[in-house]
Amino acid sequence: MDLVGFSWRRCFGFSAVRATGLLVVCAAVLAVAAASAGWMPLVVAGSAPAHTASDECIASMQLQAFAMAARFHAVALRRLPESLDDLTTVPPRDREPILATVPRDPWGRPYRYRVLDRVRGVVAFGCVGADGEAGTPDDFYLEVDAAGGTPGPAAGDAGAPGANAGTPR
């Protein structure tokens, strides 16, 4: 094939300058959209880690995942998990663990777990939030009837900050 006289500009209608300008505009639009959605936290040098709405969403979803895993564990093994690490065991007749790993919270700390009532099958999951201190409004807490009831926080919305400030009882 003879490429003499071939021009990308004639082929696609863009010059290098126009293509670069379009790329810059697209990148700017994506950056603004990401920042408005809380995906790009602003961090001042020497400040504490940023706290964003996406971190809260991740913590809430992970607590819900722990709740479902605890229910599955209770049904499959006919006992409550003793720790979060028990959720990484392989139940009988399965080939994979309930959870591949136990993640840390969005701020890099381990989640908390406690059995509240063995008879009723109530367990609690929680994390201390962005500030790393228990008993503050940014804590997450979720009580679950692992025997099959509906998960729900002690108060407020499921997994919402301050739903029940404090560590699992």
Convert the pLDDT of each residue in 151-162 to its tens digit. 444 433 444 444
Domain-embedded: residue 157? no
Q: What is the pTM of this model?
A: 0.59
Q: Helix, strand, coil proportions of the chain in percent (round to 5)? A: 35, 10, 55
Same domain, 15 and 86: no
Closest CA to 59 of 161, 162, 164, 149: 161
Query: Quick one: tokens of 68?
Result: 């479902």
Same domain, 13 and 96: no
| pLDDT at residue 165, rounded to an integer | 37
Domain extent for 34: 1-40
Domain CATH number, residue 103: 3.30.700.10
Q: For the segment 88-119, what is each residue's pLDDT rounded down to a tens digit?
A: 988 888 888 888 999 999 999 999 999 999 88
40 CB burial (10 A radius; 0-12, 13-18, 19+): middle
Domain-embedded: residue 25? yes
Domain-embedded: residue 163? no
| pLDDT at residue 3, rounded to an integer | 56
Same domain, 57 and 140: yes
Domain-embedded: residue 46? no
- Strand order, beta sheet including 112-117: 112-117, 122-127, 140-145
Same domain, 2 and 58: no
Alpha carbons 51 and 45: distance in angstroms, whole number = 15
Domain-embedded: residue 150? no
Domain-embedded: residue 156? no
**Number of domains forming the structure of the chain:** 2
| pLDDT at residue 167, rounded to an integer | 41
Alpha carbons 74 and 120: distance in angstroms, whole number = 12
Domain-embedded: residue 14? yes
Same domain, 36 and 65: no
Same domain, 32 and 109: no
| pLDDT at residue 47, rounded to an integer | 45
Same domain, 23 and 75: no
Same domain, 8 and 57: no
Q: Pairing mode, if any, of strands 112-117 and 122-127?
A: antiparallel
Same domain, 59 and 23: no
Same domain, 21 and 84: no
Same domain, 64 and 20: no
Q: Which residues of the chain have pLDDT under 70?
A: 1-51, 148-169
Domain-embedded: residue 165? no
Same domain, 76 and 103: yes
Alpha carbons 164 and 62: distance in angstroms, whole number = 17
